[in-house]
Amino acid sequence: MKYDYLIVGSGLFGSTFAYKASKIGKKCLVIEKRKHLGGNLYCEEIEGINIHKYGAHIFHTNNKEVWDFVNSIVEFNRYTNSPLANYNGRFFNLPFNMNTFYQLWGVRTPAEALVKLDEQRKEAISLIGDREPANLEEQALILVGKDIFEILVKEYTEKQWGRLCRELPSFIIQRLPVRLTFDNNYFSDKFQGIPIGGYNKLIDGLLKDSVCLTSTDFFDSYYKNWKSYAKTLVYTAPLDQYFGYSLGKLDWRTVRFDARVEDTPNFQGNAVINYTSHNHPYTRIIEHKHFECFGQQVYDNPKTVISEEYSIEYTDGLEPYYPVNDNRNNRLAIKYKELSKKEENVIFGGRLGQYKYYDMAPIIEQVLSMSI
């Protein structure tokens, strides 16, 4: 056998695994069905700007070991995620904080905000009574009340999932963070940033000692007979596809990105603006320049690039993004995971391979903790 590991997929799980294995002298072959490495982290340069081709990726963690690890590959900048919400032309700060409450109700102190929040929560609780929330809409109303739900949650969530909030299970929204401070930093993690020069530098650094093949589909190549090439398979493609959909297909949501160049140095003044009304068909607009350019740097480049994001239902031929964690899919995923435990010398990893939504840092943390 030529390789110790055949790694299917060059996203963050596969690339980090390859790096760790290569460091101890293991030989890795990484195959990627797309024309480029990096999975959804891939950046495309347009007008001198690193475009997050498959959606905004902001690295954040409280784990210093993980932060030091990624910075040993490429230096990260100081980017802080402070998104805005646009509801029919009205702007609100996110996450829900004192700025948001002032914009909604004109309250100026945490005490005033608490009174308003409690008033709206009590109204929702009184309607539900002693029973558990039956759906996402009831759960959200209990957590944040009518105003926040209707302006900042309801229509945005329905665009994301393609389903009415009262048709979605309550557990999808376990909590909605509310901050009684004037703090627009979306993440509470100690470490946060973007790789200087884009995520391709991170992926290239992780894969520098591995053999990599692009435009190579595991299921449509001779590598499907992986035991002829490697001792162990690291599989990061869709979990149900590995088993030939024998138990049925898992559902996914996917995203379409409409990117365009704008003949202005500064289109919206922020990297991320969510559009929470059904009157805008897209869920958000990303202005990629703001991930890596600050102050005068923004105006040094006379052009900018934006991406409108549209959340759509997954169909064959599209890229799966988010698992649909409703009751049917969760039950089916458990059955597939039971099958996966019986596979010898196969490691299932990543969001697709485990049918679980992950941020980037937990993926790296998971791989660093593995025995290879």
Catalytic residues: 175, 179, 253, 284, 309, 357, 359
Is residue 160 within 8 A of residue 280, CB to CB? The reply is: no
Using the CB atoms, write b or e for 95-130: b if 16+ within 10 Å. Answer: bbbbbbbbebeebeeeeebeebbeebbeebbeeeee
Residue 290 and residue 304: Cα distance in Å, rounded?
9
Q: Which two tokens stand for residue 303?
A: 């052009």
Coil vs helix vs strand at 329: helix
Coil vs helix vs strand at 77: coil
For residues 313, 316, 321 and 324, what is the CA-based torsion angle, rounded to 10 degrees?
A: 50
* Residue with token string 């703090």: 183
Angstrom CA distances, 175 to 139, 144, 155, 326, stand at 9, 9, 18, 17
Other beta carbons within 10 Å of 300 = 10
Residue 279 and residue 314: Cα distance in Å, rounded?
22
Residue type (1 letter), 361: A
For residues 220, 224, 225 and 229, what is the CA-based torsion angle, rounded to 10 degrees?
A: 110
Long-range contacts of 290-298 (CB under 8 A, 24+ apart): 291/50, 291/52, 291/56, 291/58, 291/79, 291/194, 292/49, 292/50, 292/77, 292/79, 292/194, 292/196, 292/197, 292/198, 293/49, 298/265, 298/266
350: left (phi over 0), alpha (psi -120 to 50) or beta: left
* Sign of the four-CA dihedral 303, 80, 194, 285: negative
